[in-house]
Amino acid sequence: MIVEKPTQKDQNENGRVSTPEQIERDKVKDIIQSFAKAYSALKIYPIENPAVINSTKNFSDKLMDFLSEYEEMIIGIHEFSLSFNKETLHTDAEKKKSLPFLLYKDGMRELSFHEGLDLEEIGDFLEIVKENADLPEEESNIVNSLWEKDFAYIRYFALDEFLDKNIGGDNSGGDLVPGKDELSTGEIKLTEDDKDEINKRMEILAVDPGHDISEGLKTPLSKENKVSEAAAISKSDLPEIEKL
């Protein structure tokens, strides 16, 4: 029987043959490390600096190659670490320079990249990362920045208590909510009591009380209006609704 010799890419640093899962894990670790290096360069140098250009290109190339093979990459966000399939692959506990902490502090708990991602979208994403990294901690909010940009192939999950705090809501449940596009196209289910309460409020505002509010909430907001309409809703204007 002829046994094929394992290729170099199928062997780990100890010379042992890696499983497909280990190969995928090692590639993700390499991408995360490239992301962290690009983040460090973005924090120190202007965007036209060669260190920034080289590190961001390295991250972009590796990420796009991975997505062409695996279609998506989902990263777990923790206070001072990043994980893949529940395994910690990167740790940085120094708050001021920690990439995990920048993502985590505003409620993000998962970040994912999907096939179809191009260099322009990666560049815009890294620009958001730099902008938030350059701001004082209390002024930056990367979740809001991602919400406003509405990327096509970059998704995230954030704790609703952080999201509600930033758009005028109030929730202490701590559930995960999807990114902007998923929220805007989801159907929000209201009870009859909810509808009656909203219709009463609209009647006070001289809005036709016969209009079925639930029908309007099923209609996706346009990209231009999603943020402005969400920001205009105060927590007293809507009853408690079911999670998407």
| Helix and strand totals (H; E) in the chain | 10, 6
- Say how far apart CA 109 and CA 105 lie, in whole Å: 9
| DSSP state for residue 15 in the 8-state scheme | S
83 and 199 assigned to the same domain: no
Q: Nearest 5°: phi and psi at 233?
A: -90, 120
167, 183, 199 — which closes off a domain? Answer: 183
Residue 2 domain-assigned (yes or no): no
Residue 111 domain-assigned (yes or no): yes
Are 44 and 30 in contact, with CB atoms under 8 Å apart? no
- Say how far apart CA 29 and CA 24 lie, in whole Å: 9
43 and 115 assigned to the same domain: yes
161 and 193 assigned to the same domain: no
Are 102 and 144 in contact, with CB atoms under 8 Å apart? no
205-220 as b/e, with b when 16 or more CB fall inside 10 Å? eeeebeeebbeebeee
Residue 244 domain-assigned (yes or no): no
Containing structural domain, residue 200 = 187-232
Residue 158 domain-assigned (yes or no): yes
Q: Tell me how many domains the chain contains.
A: 2
Residue 96 domain-assigned (yes or no): yes
171 and 191 assigned to the same domain: no
Residue 10 domain-assigned (yes or no): no
pLDDT tens figures, 178-194: 444 444 433 344 556 65
101 and 31 assigned to the same domain: yes
Quote the tokens at residue 204.
């006070």
Q: DSSP letters of 163-192? A: HHHHHT----S--EE--HHHHHHSPPP--H
199 and 89 assigned to the same domain: no
Residue given tokens 């815009």 in the structure block:
124
65 and 116 assigned to the same domain: yes
The amino acid at 193: D
**Across 126-132, average pLDDT:** 96
Of 15 and 91, which is predicted with more confidence? 91
Comparing C-alpha atoms, which of 107, 228, 102, 224 is closest to residue 168?
Answer: 228
CB atoms within 10 A of CB 83: 19
**pLDDT band at 162; cut points 50, 70, 90:** low
Comparing C-alpha atoms, which of 71, 130, 125 is closest to residue 102?
Answer: 130
Residue 241 domain-assigned (yes or no): no
Calculate the CA 236 to chain-centre distance: 27
25 and 76 assigned to the same domain: yes
125 and 194 assigned to the same domain: no
118 and 73 assigned to the same domain: yes
pLDDT tens figures, 47-74: 899 999 999 999 999 999 999 999 999 9
Residue 102 domain-assigned (yes or no): yes
What local confidence, expressed as pLDDT, does residue 18 receive? 86
Say what the pTM is.
0.63
156 and 218 assigned to the same domain: no
174 and 192 assigned to the same domain: no
**pLDDT band at 237; cut points 50, 70, 90:** very low
Taking the CA atoms of 92, 93, 96 and 99 in sequence, report the sign of the dihedral they define: positive
